[in-house]
A and B are shown apart, each in its own frame.
Chain A
Amino acid sequence: MSEQDDDLELRALKRELDDAFATTRPRRGFEDELWLRMQARRPLGSRLRDALGGLVQGIRAVPAVPTAAVAGLLVVVLGIGVLALSGVGRGGNAASTAGSAFNQGDTNHPPTLPGAFGRLPSPRLGSGSSAPPLPAAADPRQLVPGSGYVGPVNLTWAGKLTLDTPTLPVFRYHEPSTNAADQFASALGAVMQSRPGGLLGEYESSDYTLSIRGTVQAPAAEPTFVITAGPSMPEINAAGAAPSDIATLFLAEHSLVPQWPYTADVQSAGGASHVRLLRQFVAGPYGLAYLVDPQGDRYGLEVDLAGNKPTMATGPLPVTLEAASYPVISDGQAIGAALGSSAGGPGAPTVQLSQAEVVYVVVAAGDHSFYEPAFLFSGSFTVNGHAYLERILVPAVDPSQRSS
């Protein structure tokens, strides 16, 4: 087995572990049962104190009604802005096919209403670890999975970072409901089979099974669909076509070709191919920025092929994105945060960070989650003749815009 295959296997295993820990949950009802048991075991005095506290809080809440009315008004105003952005009423090919009906709203819209989402949650980069407040880097050193180097390093900067914009767009989506998942599946021609814990639904068509998952909190991941081919999945009839073309044909047959910008990446070994359509966001004046996972790896919609036969396809469930611009830290602050993220001391190898780019990361947060901008720094270095790649993710949104 080649190193590349080995690396792919390790990455797949890590993804599977992320899913395993994110979806394993106690039986339904256990959470409330246990909470009631805990409450019942509390001393009577503290229960009475809480009950009285709740009563006082209820009395205090009465004068807050006008505030609630103002908040309602704001929601209406923002709602109008959102409707204006969602593509409704723009004509075009909305609802003409399954994919486009959903993808229509899944495009990057020009940002509006600066800071309209209020204070933002902090990203959890690096498999869910909480990001420290800026200017310190968030989970600073991200090694390429499988690279194996785990020691401390000294960091230097020898690249060029010019952002030229004080703000970048943040994108927000509403957590999809089971109803939305059912509609997506139905538009693909798949029929619901069950709703196992941790999934919005499992569906079947004659050729494949479809699983749909909502947002995963840690490590953060957006709502995702997975198509697993059955034995009757037909080959794509395109003799001599490149794997990326075969994957695109398959997606087109199912109206799943992304409406967002992407670049294609193909890895092939022994007749099998892994085609990745790496997602990009329109980051205002900066241009296109890749979506990366907490390890800094680009991702998007992925199709596995065995020859001309698709075996699996997975990608983000199309959701409607709203956009709002947010102030970001300066180039100098970003570089400082990256360099300050590691102090290797004497004897530790020196890593010269030579590249930096704006990327987007998922930030999971309850009913609404976000795609937020970040700076991805990278540089290669050598230890004992082995080459390694170092990556550092630094959240870009100014800390003053954070909720915590």
Chain B
Amino acid sequence: MLADRPPFEDLYREYLGRIYAYIRAQVPTAADAEDISAQVFMNAYQAYGRFEPRNSTPAAWLFRIARNATLDHFRARGRRERLRRTIEHQPLAEEDPAAEAEERIQYRALLVQVAELPERQRDAISLRHSGLSFEEVGNLLGCSEDAAKMLYHRAIKALKEAVRKVEQ
């Protein structure tokens, strides 16, 4: 273990909650968020030997894995749902009430509004309010720091409008 690389358990304890919150803002159910969070940390655990702290902060590294896992989830879910609805005419998955009762979430309505934003706007808000700098958000979204700020600014205005419409 390199001296400048903290034990993985430290990272796990520090970031699990933040990664979960980021994922939860993207997906409709707590069960999905748990599955993806588990996948993120399993992947990170396996890849930790290759993590280079000089190139990236642990937060940026973990959020990159989380973003990829969430996008994979949507791609796979899209395929599954399309197949299921075509063949079985089944409705979309709904939240399990028991899981919902156990979940620790205070701002469900607001996170639902965030989840309904276009993908990049949703990502900009979720990553920024998960504690990443604009430079890190830009790196993750493949754009400059200034473009990330612009995207965030547009996203927050869009969210405000969406919240206002719901309140009316």
Contacts and interface: CB of A to CB of B under 8 A. Distances in A.
Contacts of A130: 57, 59, 133
B160 interface: yes
A250 to B, nearest CB: 25
Nearest to A27: B102
Contacts of B73: none
Contacts of B80: none
B156 A127 contact: no
A30 B153 contact: no
Interface string A1-41: 00000000110011011111111111110110011011001
B104 A28 contact: yes
Contacts of A38: 12, 41-42, 45
Interface in B108-167: 110-111, 114, 125-126, 128-136, 146, 149-150, 153, 156-157, 159-160, 163
A372 interface: no
Contact of B160 (A13, A26, A35): A13
Contacts of A128: 130-133
B133 A150 contact: no
Contacts of B159: 13, 17
Contacts of A41: 42
A152 B163 CA distance: 31
Most-contacted residue by chain A among B103, B104, B111, B136 (CB, 10 A):
B104
Contacts of B150: 150
A24 B131 contact: no
Interface stretch (A195-203, A327-335, A374-382, A393-401): A195-203
A25 B20 contact: yes
Contacts of A152: 146
A124 B131 contact: yes
Nearest to B137: A129
A353 B130 CA distance: 30
Given A34-B38, A38-B45, A21 B129 contact: yes
Contact of A26 (B104, B136, B157): B104
A126 B133 contact: yes
A296 interface: no
A5 B29 CA distance: 34
Interface residues of B, number: 51
Most-contacted residue by chain B among A41, A139, A218 (CB, 10 A):
A218
Interface in B36-74: 37-38, 41-42, 45, 57, 59
Nearest to B109: A20
A17 B136 CA distance: 18
B129 A24 contact: no
A125 to B, nearest CB: 10
Contact of A27 (B104, B107, B129, B133): B104
Interface residues of A, number: 43
A169 interface: no
B13 interface: yes
A199 B106 contact: yes
A13 B41 contact: no
Nearest to B40: A34
Contacts of B132: 128-129
Contact of B38 (A20, A37, A42, A217): A37
A343 to B, nearest CB: 12
Contacts of A35: 9, 12
Interface in A81-106: none
A14 B153 CA distance: 11
A37 B40 CA distance: 13
Given A18-B129, A34-B16, A24 B104 contact: yes
A128 B17 CA distance: 15
B103 A23 contact: no
Most-contacted residue by chain A among B37, B111, B129, B150 (CB, 10 A):
B129
A187 to B, nearest CB: 25
B17 A19 contact: no
A150 B153 contact: yes
Most-contacted residue by chain A among B99, B128, B150 (CB, 10 A):
B128
A316 interface: no
Nearest to B16: A31
A151 interface: yes
Interface of B: 9, 12-13, 16-18, 20-22, 24-25, 30, 33-34, 37-38, 41-42, 45, 57, 59, 99, 102-107, 110-111, 114, 125-126, 128-136, 146, 149-150, 153, 156-157, 159-160, 163
Interface of A: 9-10, 13-14, 16-28, 30-31, 34-35, 37-38, 41-42, 124, 126-130, 139, 148, 150-152, 196-199, 217-219
Given A20-B110, A23-B107, A24-B111, 11 more contacts: A20-B25, A21-B131, A25-B21, A27-B99, A27-B104, A126-B134, A127-B131, A128-B131, A150-B150, A197-B104, A218-B131
